[in-house]
């Protein structure tokens, strides 16, 4: 037990070391401001956004191709054009946007981000390019109940987690209960099903919803706010002064020429296109892509998960104490932390030292995670083979290797197989967590479709069905092989 503890402490020290390293890296990068120079040398401006927030940014399907559009995208395009570089768009959860620029995953984050004082402590902001104002969405049936924001006293208010609206509702609506969710689409659904009474949201977004859904109405927030709390600005990693200055020039022009109005009108057009056909069949390509990525991640992670699991299991049966200790600590550590945190750690944490794309990061994290569980399954399977088998083999003079190869493993495999099957099935389901770093798996695509169609439930139902088809098919295949093994005695 003490040995395990020692090994676990070692792992902690290793992780702390990686962490320190990443912090040092990010700080040293901040020390010399090469932000503008790097973008120009690269010839690419990389931006991150969370495309589920029409009309700021959202995903549409134009001529069979996925495209992220919206006012913010037009702003970013103008910036890139003025810098004479190409714009590269990456997408992920709103929560992760600021982390992404802090860890160098992108040059800038844009997504209706309000440059609050708190946020200014961790990132740099451009000038404000648009001031929308805050409002609330309510159900049309409640228009008499909630004539203005004053009537919301004591109500349940929803807002996107990590947004300004969340903090404002908490602070400014007396006695309110504030419910946070990741996706504005979920929040709208919560509103329509009366889980919340009102939804704190920026005015342009609220207007978009009201236009597309007659069961929703908008009321003004009545907040008295300074311009940092209503305006949207572009976020950069701290110490990117040169890049910020260059971007500000573009923003000055945008404001002078009132370009945002033009951008919003353009976004509105896309939204009209969007809502013409909201049947799920129309979106089959989105779901197909999601299924493709979910299967890809699952297959790759299953393969490496088994590989890692076998290696760990061998280490557990090794004569070397330190190998055993290492395997035990690894397994305990992985099993003791949520997959979501592991995904974030691989992408953002390790990503500072070596830049790994989101899809690969997701696969690495899921494989590392699955490996620990597979190792336990293998170990359990081996231990479940009766002790008498080992003794019989030993009494015949069989070597340890032969004992494993001919006696233990073939029998263990019969116990391992069903448990491994369960692991594969849960891997398909759990891989959905990679959507938080913007991997376009089924969950990610599901959210895109929901944002696109303003339909809350139907896409969820379709995704559920697709997951079930995948896991059910896998179950049948696994059962087939399990049946075959039973014949072999």
Partner 1 sequence: MQDKKILEVNHLNKKFGDNEILKDINGTVKSGEVICVIGPSGAGKSTFLRCLNLLEKPTSGEVKFEGTDLTHVNEKQLINLRERMGMVFQSFNLFPNMTVIENLKLAPIRVKHLKDDEAQKIAMHLLDRVGLAEKANAYPSSLSGGQQQRVAIARALAMNPEVMLFDEPTSALDPEMVGEVLEVMNELAKDGMTMVVVTHEMGFAKEVADEVWFMADGYILERNKPDELFDNPQNERAKDFIGKIIQNV
- Residue 472 vs 481, nearer CB to partner 1: 481
Q: Indicate the helix (H) or strand (E) that contains 201.
A: strand 198-202
Residue 153: what are its φ and ψ, rounded to 5°? -50, 125
- Residue 336 vs 388, nearer CB to partner 1: 388
- Residue 25 vs 413, nearer CB to partner 1: 413
Stretch 407-426 residues interacting with partner 1 (CB under 8 A): 407, 410-411, 414
**Phi-psi domain of 112 (left: phi exceeds 0; alpha: psi -120 through 50; beta: other):** left
Residue 433 CA: distances (Å) to CA of 99, 307, 346, 397, 401:
17, 22, 13, 50, 40
Give the span between the Cα atoms of 157 and 138, in whole angstroms. Answer: 10
Give the span between the Cα atoms of 124 and 239, in whole angstroms. Answer: 7
- Which residue among 284, 406, 468, 481 contacts partner 1 (CB under 8 A)? 406
Asked if residue 320 binds partner 1 (CB under 8 A), the reply is no
In contact, 436 and 96? CB cutoff 8 Å: yes
Asked if residue 15 binds partner 1 (CB under 8 A), the reply is no
C-beta of 414: minimal distance to partner 1 in Å? 8
In contact, 343 and 362? CB cutoff 8 Å: yes
In contact, 216 and 94? CB cutoff 8 Å: no
C-beta of 284: minimal distance to partner 1 in Å? 46
- Which residue among 399, 457, 469, 479 contacts partner 1 (CB under 8 A)? 399
Asked if residue 388 binds partner 1 (CB under 8 A), the reply is yes
- Residue 65 vs 487, nearer CB to partner 1: 487
- Residue 273 vs 409, nearer CB to partner 1: 409
Stretch 327-386 residues interacting with partner 1 (CB under 8 A): 386
Give the span between the Cα atoms of 423 and 199, in whole angstroms. Answer: 39
- Residue 65 vs 486, nearer CB to partner 1: 486
C-beta of 424: minimal distance to partner 1 in Å? 23
- Which residue among 144, 395, 476, 483 contacts partner 1 (CB under 8 A)? 395
C-beta of 25: minimal distance to partner 1 in Å? 49
- Residue 310 vs 398, nearer CB to partner 1: 398
- Residue 336 vs 489, nearer CB to partner 1: 489
In contact, 12 and 336? CB cutoff 8 Å: no
C-beta of 395: minimal distance to partner 1 in Å? 4
Nearest to 351 by CA among 126, 101, 36: 101
C-beta of 321: minimal distance to partner 1 in Å? 18
Stretch 237-296 residues interacting with partner 1 (CB under 8 A): none
C-beta of 481: minimal distance to partner 1 in Å? 16
Q: What is the CA radius of gyration of the chain?
A: 26
Residue 439 CA: distances (Å) to CA of 11, 303, 359:
28, 19, 6
Count the site residues for partner 1 by CB under 8 A. Answer: 20
- Which residue among 41, 252, 261, 391 contacts partner 1 (CB under 8 A)? 391
C-beta of 122: minimal distance to partner 1 in Å? 59
Q: Which two tokens stand for residue 130?
A: 């648009």
Stretch 469-488 residues interacting with partner 1 (CB under 8 A): 488
Asked if residue 389 binds partner 1 (CB under 8 A), the reply is yes
C-beta of 467: minimal distance to partner 1 in Å? 35
Stretch binding partner 1 (CB under 8 A), from 54-62, 291-299, 387-395, 459-467: 387-395
C-beta of 30: minimal distance to partner 1 in Å? 59
Question: 3-state SS of 207-228?
Answer: HHHHHHCCCEEEEECCCCCCHH
In contact, 290 and 463? CB cutoff 8 Å: yes
- Which residue among 14, 15, 396, 469 contacts partner 1 (CB under 8 A)? 396
Strand partners, 57: 53
Residue 298 CA: distances (Å) to CA of 93, 172, 293, 333, 343:
21, 45, 8, 22, 14
| Burial of residue 305, with CB atoms counted within 10 A of its CB: 0-12 exposed, 13-18 middle, 19 or more buried | buried
Axis crossing angle, helix 35-42 with helix 241-256, rounded to the nearest 10: 80
Residue entry with tokens 């376009």: 440
Stretch binding partner 1 (CB under 8 A), from 22-30, 350-358, 391-399, 417-425: 391-399
Residue 341 CA: distances (Å) to CA of 328, 334, 371:
20, 10, 16
- Residue 265 vs 394, nearer CB to partner 1: 394
C-beta of 388: minimal distance to partner 1 in Å? 4
Residues lying near partner 1 in the complex (CB under 8 A) = 386, 388-389, 391-399, 402, 406-407, 410-411, 414, 488-489
């Amino acid at each position: 037990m003490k040995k395990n503890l020692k090994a676990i402490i070692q792992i902690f020290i290793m992780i702390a070391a990686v962490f320190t390293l990443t912090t040092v890296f990010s700080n040293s990068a901040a020390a010399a401001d090469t932000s503008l120079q790097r973008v120009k040398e690269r010839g690419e401006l990389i931006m991150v956004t969370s495309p589920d927030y029409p009309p700021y940014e959202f995903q549409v399907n134009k001529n069979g191709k996925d495209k992220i559009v919206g006012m913010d995208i037009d702003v970013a395009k103008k910036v890139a054009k003025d810098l004479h570089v190409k714009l590269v768009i990456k997408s992920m959860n709103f929560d992760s946007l600021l982390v992404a620029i802090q860890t160098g995953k992108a040059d800038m984050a844009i997504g209706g981000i309000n440059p609050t004082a708190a946020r200014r402590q961790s990132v740099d902001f451009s000038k404000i390019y648009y001031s929308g104002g805050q409002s609330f969405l309510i159900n049309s049936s409640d228009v008499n109940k909630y004539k203005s924001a004053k009537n919301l006293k004591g109500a349940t208010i929803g807002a996107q987690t990590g947004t300004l609206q969340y903090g404002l509702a908490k602070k400014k609506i007396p006695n309110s209960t504030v419910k946070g969710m990741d996706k504005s689409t979920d929040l709208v659904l919560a509103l329509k099903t009366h889980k919340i009474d009102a939804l704190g949201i920026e005015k342009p977004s609220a207007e978009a919803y009201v236009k597309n859904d007659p069961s929703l109405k908008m009321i003004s927030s009545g907040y008295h706010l300074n311009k940092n709390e209503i305006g949207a600005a572009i976020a950069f990693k701290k110490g990117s002064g040169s890049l910020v200055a260059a971007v500000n020039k573009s923003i000055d022009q945008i404001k002078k020429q009132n370009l945002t109005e033009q951008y919003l009108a353009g976004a509105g057009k896309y939204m009209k296109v969007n809502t013409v056909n909201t049947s799920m069949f129309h979106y089959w390509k989105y779901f197909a892509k999601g299924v493709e990525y979910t299967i890809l991640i699952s297959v790759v992670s299953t393969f490496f998960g088994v590989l890692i699991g076998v290696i760990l299991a061998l280490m557990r049966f090794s004569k070397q104490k330190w190998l055993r200790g290492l395997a035990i600590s690894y397994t305990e550590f992985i099993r003791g932390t949520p997959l979501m945190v592991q995904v974030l750690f691989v992408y953002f944490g390790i990503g500072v030292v070596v830049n790994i794309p989101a899809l690969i990061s997701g696969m690495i994290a899921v494989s590392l995670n699955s490996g620990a569980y597979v190792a336990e399954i293998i170990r359990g399977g081996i231990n479940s083979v009766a002790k008498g088998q080992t003794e019989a083999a030993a009494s015949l003079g069989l070597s340890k290797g032969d004992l494993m190869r001919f006696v233990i493993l073939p029998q263990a495999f019969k116990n391992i197989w069903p448990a491994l099957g369960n692991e594969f099935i849960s891997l398909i389901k759990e891989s959905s967590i990679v959507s938080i770093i913007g991997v376009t798996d089924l969950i990610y695509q599901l959210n895109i479709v929901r944002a696109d169609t303003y339909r809350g439930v139907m896409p969820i139902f379709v995704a559920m069905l697709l997951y079930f088809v995948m896991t059910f098919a896998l179950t049948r295949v696994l059962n087939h092989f399990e049946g075959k093994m039973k014949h072999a005695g």
